[in-house]
Each structure stands twice: as structure tokens, then as C-alpha cells.
Chains A and B, each alone.
Chain A
Amino acid sequence: MAGVQVANLSRSFGAHKALDDVSIDFADGGFYALLGPSGSGKTTLLRQIAGFDFPDSGRIAIGGESVERVPVEKRRIGMVFQNYALFPNMSVADNVAFGLSVRGEAKATIASEVQRALDLVQLGKLGARRPHQLSGGQRQRVALARAIVTKPRVLLLDEPLGALDKALRVDMQIELKRIQREIGITTIFVTHDQEEALTMSDRIGILRDGRLVQEGPPEEIYDKPKSEFAATFLGDANILRGETTGTGIRLADGTAIAAGAGATLAAGAKASCAVRPERIRIGTDSGTSDPNANMLRGQISKRIFAGNNSTYFVDRDGQTIKVIVQNTGVEKLAEGQKVVLRWSPESTVLIAASQDMD
């Protein structure tokens, strides 16, 4: 096992900068999610770490050893592909055995290792099957067994759950996490599904246009996004824009919004505040229970009922603010109703106006 260090990694394809000076430290034994929209460079980064492609500049180290010019077959990594890439001409057992066999391991060793790996992914009895005889979830497990049986230093997963349906995906998330804990392997996971990233990983890196926008533990990124992009891409956020007052912002109509967290900014600069929809309370009375709370007035333009919660879209001064409320059965507001929105400064993050929001 080993950690992975990526430092100042850049890679261009023609005029397109797929990776632009990316540095990330992947901790030994950690589960790290690379999150971003398509074209953000997350897959390119994974392929650089795997060794399918080499960087223009920058360093990649696995377990402290520089590998940026080492081809994939010598890097001792394990990879699970989006479509699993199981060899159709081999049985399940032969697929799993492949990595050991090209290494010239003894037959007996291979057989016992393959069985152990298949047992680990709970497919111990299906070794003789062909890949096309398996379900999607089973193929996924075979791909995983094949990737870890060689005891790689790092496990790379390229949107491994993307091809599965929703219910199966949740099962596999739990399963994947269990196996990863059991063998304690450093795992790097590419996904565009923010929920997957939040639930599975202990660190997340958000990429956009080839640059690392923010990285850290899931809670930290969720609670303290450093950019409007990070705020809106990971989870849902309302963005209010205005001029900074040092501890918050002032909106165009003069309303002051206080922020409890975020950047320290010189007064007068352009800035914005991010608020999560579930942190906003919605009501009809203007009575102040908490004098410090941020407050805005508006009118409900739309309500979407979703079982355990409802989403309200509240129009205010040309902007729509989204509010999510648990359905407790007590309060029910109608479309067209005038409402007051309140939330605490602690739930408000001050974000410097940056070039990443256009």
C-alpha cells in the first residue's frame, strides 16, 4: 500500500488544457473521490495516475517513488473500468487470474489467490462462468476482484457504478466501501455523481476545466465551499451577490447579509454568499425570534412536493431562492403566498467573486 502524490501536474491536448497545475496528496489507505462535470479533467487525472498517458510537466509519486514516466504495466496499480472491461474470451476465474498469470506466478498460487479474491467479492462459486453470463452487479464484482488480486499499491476506479441502476448502485457503494476497508488500499475514485462522492469518500477533490477547485473532507467542502462553483456543484446552494462588508455582503437593494464563515475580504469588493436550501426557514410572520438571523422577503412562485420534503421556489427581487422543508404536516404554504425567509449567519458562507463564475 502506498499514498499517491500528484504535484503541479499539467497536460494539454493541442490548445486544450486538460490538466492545469493540479496538486493533490492522496493519503495512504484513504478513499478519495475526484468529482467534476464531464470535461473537467478528472478522468485525465486518473489516467495519468494509472499511466495510460504521461504528463507534460509535474510529478506523480506512488509510495514516494516517482512514476510519471513509468508505463501502466509497471506501475502496479489496479483499475476498474466504467464498462468493467472483462475479457470476453476468458472465464471469470481466468479474468481474475490474468494479472497473476502474466506475472508468471505458480499455478497453485494463482488458483488460491483467485479463489480468495472471488470470495472477498462474494462470487466464490461463479469462477467457471463467462462474463456474458453475469449480471451487471456481478461483472462489477469480478472487475473489482481482478483489480485487487494482484495486490496493487493503489486502486483506481473510473465511474465504476455508472452503468448500474439506482438500487444496485447503492448496494455496490456499501460493498465497495466494505472491501476497501477490509484490504485498506489507497483508492481513487472518479465520479460525476456528487451523492456518491459524499457518501463514499473520506476526501473529495473537485475539478473544473482542468484545475483543482477545492479539496478536503466531504463535510468541509459542503459547509465551507470556497467558490460558487464548489457550492453549487457539491449539493445545492442559493447564491446571493453583492458588495462585501467584511463579515458579509450588502445586496443591491441595501439588505445586509451576515456570513459566519468563509473568506476574509476587504470591504467594498464584489462577493457572494452561499446558503444551502435546507438551512433556510420559511414562514409567513415577520416577528423576529432571532435578531441576528438573515432575513429576506419574497413570494412563493412554485412548490414541488417530494414525499418527505417539499421544495419552495421563492421569488425575490428578480432572483429565485430555493428552500427545502421537511414535511412535518404542520405547515403548508401555497403558491403565490408572501413569505419571510430566515437563516443563521453560521449557515452562510462568504465567497470572493472569482473568475470561475461567469
Chain B
Amino acid sequence: MATTRILEWCGRLYIWLLLAFLYLPIIIMALMSFNVSPFYQLPFEWTTEWYASLWLNDQLISATWNSIEIAIITTVISTVLGSAASLALYRHEFRGKKALQALLFPPIAIPWLITGTAMLIFFFGVGIGRGLFAILLGHVALALPYVIVVVSARLQTFAPELEEAARSLGANQWQVTSRVTLPWIMPGVIAGGLFAFAVSFDQFVVSYFLSTPGQTTLPVEIYAAIRKGFTPEINAVSTIIIVVSMALMLLTARSFKFGGEK
């Protein structure tokens, strides 16, 4: 029994060490964004001047707006299209359904480097070119499989008899969907939407290959800045991003339990 206690204690300690490994760099980065020294020198002196100077950086601000706009449009489009596809995959049985479901896997699993360069080549070839529209096209495609997977998981808990019961009571297809099915899968749809927003808002690789100097997103802008040299301004904007994206995922987890208890 004693050994068990000791082992469990070691286990807990280990988890806290892992959490330290995962969070310390982020916390340090955030702290440095409030430090006076532009060369990250200690001792620490509090300032918010780096955040203030962000407001004067037009390039960064326009990239931020682009990111937000693209993320919102991506969320709307991929949530609608993805939920519709999930419903179709749930309701109907047909040959090739397995293949269609398998096709969702490559966009998630293939490295974004490959997807991004392929998009660049193709969009150039067909005349779409680079820019915000191309980035949007790419983001929706990357977000769609996540939405479909999340909504489908929620649909798995739905009883098909509910749709049949509604139909037997005289409800047409639209009434069945809007009054019975959608209310049930709503948590999944919301979670899928938040996922889509996060995928788009945090997306760097694909945006990187598809952006042009004037038409770019925040992560791409940050990457360019990092490669020029580290500044506390980057820390400031990075801190904002990480807070936003973590908050988003916490929201997602609340609306849709992934993993967790049996």
C-alpha cells in the first residue's frame, strides 16, 4: 500500500512537471511582453508600452482584421456545409459512403506544408492566385473535416427513431430537421464552429503560402517579424493570440466534451 501511495504521489508530481513544461515558456513570453527592456533583460520592470505600440502598427492591425474576418467567414461556411454533410452521412446509406468518410482524413493528416504548397500551385494555375480569397478557400477546406467529425460524433448519440417519430406525426423534412435534429446536435455544431474558428485563426502554414504582402493574416505577419528579429511587440501580440485561442478552446470544451469521462 505504501509503495502505491508513493507511486501515485510521483505520478502527480510528474503531471505537474509536464504542465510546467507546457506552460512555462508561454508564461515567460507573456511576462516579457510586460517588461520594459526591449532586449528582454532582467530585472523585470512593468510596462504596457509594447501593447500600446501595437495600436500604431498599421500592418499588424490590418493583418489582425484579416485574420478575424477570415476566421468568422470560415466558421460560418464550414459549419453550415459541414453540418449538412454530417447529416447526409448520418441519414443515408449508400455505396461509397465509407470512402467519402475516409476522404475527410487526408486534409487533417497530410502536413500543411504539402497542402499549402499544393494550393498555391493549383490556385495559381486556375487564376485564383494568392490573397485573402485564396486563404479563405484553404481555411474552409481545412476546417470542414473537423466540423464534420465533431458534428458526426454528436449525431452518433442521436436516436434515429426520433426523426421517424417526428415524420410519423406529420412533420416534413424541414420540420424534422429544424425542430428535432438540429436542437439535438446544436452543442456539436457550436463546438464544430469554435473548432473551425480556431483552425482558421491559428492557421499559419497554409496562409503563409497563400498570402501576398498586402493581403496577409496575423500569424504570417508575426512569422515575418520573428525572422527579422525578436521584439517585445511580438511578445505582446503573441500573448493576445494565445489568450484568445486558449479561451476559444475552453469554450469549445465546455460546449462539447471530448475525451474525458467514459
Consider the complex of A and B and state whether they touch directly, i.e. have CB atoms less than 8 Å apart.
Answer: yes
Residues of chain A having any CB pair with chain B under 8 Å:
50, 52, 71-74, 76-79, 81-83, 85-89, 98-99, 102-103, 146-147, 150, 156
Query: Which chain B residues lie closer than 8 Å to A76 at the CB level?
Result: 170
| Pairwise interchain contact B170-A73, C-beta atoms closer than 8 A | yes
A85 near B164 (CB under 8 angstroms)?
yes
Q: Is the CB of B166 within 8 A of A98?
A: yes
Q: Please state if A150 and B164 are interface contacts (CB–CB under 8 Å).
A: no
Pair A98/B169 contact, Cβ less than 8 Å:
yes
Which A residue's beta carbon lies closest to that of B182?
A: A89
B159 to chain A, nearest CB (A): 6
Please give the number of chain B residues whose Cβ is less than 8 angstroms from any Cβ of chain A in the complex: 17
Considering only residues 157-200 of chain B, those with a C-beta below 8 Å from chain A are 159, 161-162, 164-172, 175, 179-180, 183-184
Within the complex, what minimum Cβ distance (angstroms) separates A184 from chain B? 20
Q: Which 3 A-B pairs have the closest CB atoms?
A: A99-B169, A85-B161, A85-B165
A97 to B, closest residue via Cβ = B169
Knowing that A73-B172, A77-B168, A98-B179 are A-B contacts, what are 16 other residue pairs whose CB atoms are under 8 Å apart, sorted by A's residue number?
A50-B168, A72-B167, A72-B168, A73-B171, A76-B170, A79-B165, A81-B161, A82-B161, A86-B165, A87-B165, A99-B170, A102-B170, A102-B172, A146-B165, A147-B168, A150-B170
Q: Which residues of A contact B159 (CB under 8 A)?
A: 83, 85
B164 touches A72 (CB 8 A): yes
* A89-B170 contact in complex given A81-B161, A81-B165, C-beta closer than 8 Å: no
CB distance from B8 to the nearest CB of A (A): 37
Do B172 and A89 touch across chains, with their CB atoms under 8 A apart? Answer: no
The smallest C-beta distance from A149 to any residue of chain B, in angstroms, reads 9
Q: With A72-B164, A81-B164, A87-B162 as given contacts, are A102 and B169 in contact (CB-CB < 8 Å)? A: yes
CB distance from B77 to the nearest CB of A (A): 26
Q: How far is the CB of A229 from chain B (nearest CB, A)?
A: 30
The smallest C-beta distance from A152 to any residue of chain B, in angstroms, reads: 9
Inter-chain CA distance A156–B164, complex, in Å, is 13
* C-alpha spacing A82/B170, complex, angstroms: 19
- Would you list 29 pairs from A and B whose C-beta atoms are within 8 A, ordered by A residue? A71-B167, A72-B168, A73-B169, A73-B170, A73-B171, A73-B172, A77-B168, A78-B169, A79-B165, A81-B161, A81-B165, A82-B161, A83-B159, A83-B161, A85-B159, A86-B165, A88-B162, A89-B180, A89-B183, A98-B166, A98-B171, A99-B169, A99-B171, A102-B169, A102-B172, A102-B175, A147-B168, A150-B169, A156-B168
Main secondary structure of the interface of B (DSSP, over half): helix
Contact A102 B171 (CB under 8 A): yes
A146 neighbours in B (Cβ, 8 Å): 165, 169
Task: Provide the residues of chain A in CB contact with B184, threshold 8 Å.
Answer: 88-89
Kindly state the separation between the CA atoms of A82 and B161 in the bound complex, as whole angstroms: 9
**Residue ID in chain B nearest A89 by CB atoms:** B183
User: How far apart sit A52 and B169, CA to CA, in the bound complex (Å)?
Assistant: 12
User: Hey, which chain A residues are within 8 Å of B179, CB to CB?
Assistant: 98, 102
Chain B hits for A78, CB < 8 A: 168-169
In Å, the complex CA distance between A52 and B172 comes to 13
Alpha-carbon distance between A147 and B164 when the two chains are bound, in angstroms: 12
Distance in Å from the Cβ of A148 to the closest Cβ of chain B? 11
Shortest beta-carbon distance from B123 to chain A in Å: 43
Q: What is the distance, in angstroms, from B25's C-beta to the closest C-beta of chain A?
A: 44
- With A83-B159, A83-B161, A85-B161 known as contacts, the answer to whether A73 contacts B168 (CB < 8 A) is yes
Residue on A nearest B173 in the bound complex, by CB: A73
A83 to B169, CA, bound (A): 16
